[in-house]
Amino acid sequence: MRGPGLADCPRPGPGQPCVEECVRSETQREMSPGEVADLVCRALGTPQRVLAATELRGGGFAAVWRVDLDGGRTVVFKAAPPPGVRLLSYETGLLAVESHYFQRVRREAPGVPVPEVLHYEIDPDQSGGGDWMVMTFLPGTVLYELQQTAPPQELARVRRDLGAALARLHTLEGPEFGYPGEGRRRGGSWRAVFLGIVADLLEDADRLGSVLPVPADEILRVLDRAAPVLDEVRSPRLVHFDLWDGNILARQGSSSVLRLSGLVDGERCLYGDPLVDFVSSDLFGALETQPEHPVLTGYAETAGWTEPLTEAARARIRLYRAWLYLVMNVEIPTRAGIDAEQQRQRAELLTGALAAVAGR
C-alpha cells in the first residue's frame, strides 16, 4: 500500500529502474539477475535466452523484475517476501491471492486488462524461500507519471476507462466476504468482516510498534458506531483495494488517445463492497462528493446507474477511506524510506478520515 509523496519513492515506469535514493523494504526479497533468469526459464518450460533482468524498485512490498527474452518477448517476475520478515496479518500468502485475482479476472472479465499468470510456484528451496510468479508484461506508463505530462482530458479518459473496468470487475461474486486464501479473515457478514479486519490491523499496530494518531480503542469505537450502514451490503464482490495511480497503466491507442492498458498489483484483493474501489482510485480526494468524476461516470455508464450515490453509499465510502489510511499508518514499520514528514501526512489523513466518519 503506498501513494505518491507518502511512500519510499514513486513507482518507475515499465523497464525503468528506480533512482538511486530508493530504499529497499525488508519485505522485498533480494535476488540476483541470474537467479531471476534461472527461475523464469524454468517457469516457461522451453529454452529461453534472457537478454536482461531489471528490478523495478518503485514498490514497497514485493520484489518485481522485468525480464527481456530473445525474440522481443518480455515477462514480469514477482517474488513474495522472504520467510521471517515482519508483515501485517492480512499480508500472508499475498502472491497466491494475486494469482487468483488475475486468473479469475482474465477468465470471467476478459475485457479488463490484467496480466496473464504464466507460472506460480511455492518453492521453499529457491532464492531464500517463498513463492514467486511469472506474468505477461503489460505495455504502458503508470498514471502517476503521466500526471506530469498528459493533457487533463486524456487523463480523464483513462479514469473513465477505469470506472468502466471496475463496473465489469464488480460483477464477479465470491462465496463469502473477506480475503481469499487459507487462514485469512472472512465470513458471511460484511459488517462483521470489516470490523474484524480493523481489529486485526489494530493488533498489528501494537505488535509492530506502529504509532497511530488516535488511540486504537477510539478508532474501533468510531468505526463501530458507523458500521451499521454496512449491513446494506449483501453480495460479496471482487475488489482490488489498491488502485492508486501507480497501479494503473495507460498507453496511446490506435487513435493516438491515451487509454487504460493495465491494472496491476492485485495482491490485496478481497470480496466485499464494490464501493471499496472508489477510495484508492481517488487516493487523496473524495470521489463520492464529485458526481462528474470520470471514474464515477465510466462506472455509471457501464453498470447502468441512473441515480447518484445515496447518502448511505457515501457513508460507506468514508468508512473505507478510514480503513485504507489506517493500513497506510500501521504498515510504516515494515516499509523503508518513509520519513517523519510522510508519517505526519499519513497521520493527518487518518485523523481527517475518522473525523469524517464521525460527522465532525
For 145-214, give the DSSP string. HHTTTS-HHHHHHHHHHHHHHHHHHTT-B-SSEE--STTS-EES-HHHHHHHHHHHHHHHHHHHT---SS
Across the chain, what does the average pLDDT equal? 89
What domains, with CATH codes, occur in the chain? 33-137 (3.30.200.20), 142-358 (3.90.1200.10)
Instruction: Tell me: pLDDT of 14 over 90.
Output: no
Which pLDDT belongs to residue 25? 78
Nearest to 117 by CA among 136, 101, 132: 136
List beta partners, residue 272: 237
Q: What is the mean pLDDT of residues 139-168?
A: 94
Residue 197: which pLDDT band, with cuts at 50, 70 and 90?
very high
pLDDT at 127: 46
pTM: 0.90
Distance CA 237, CA 239 (A): 6
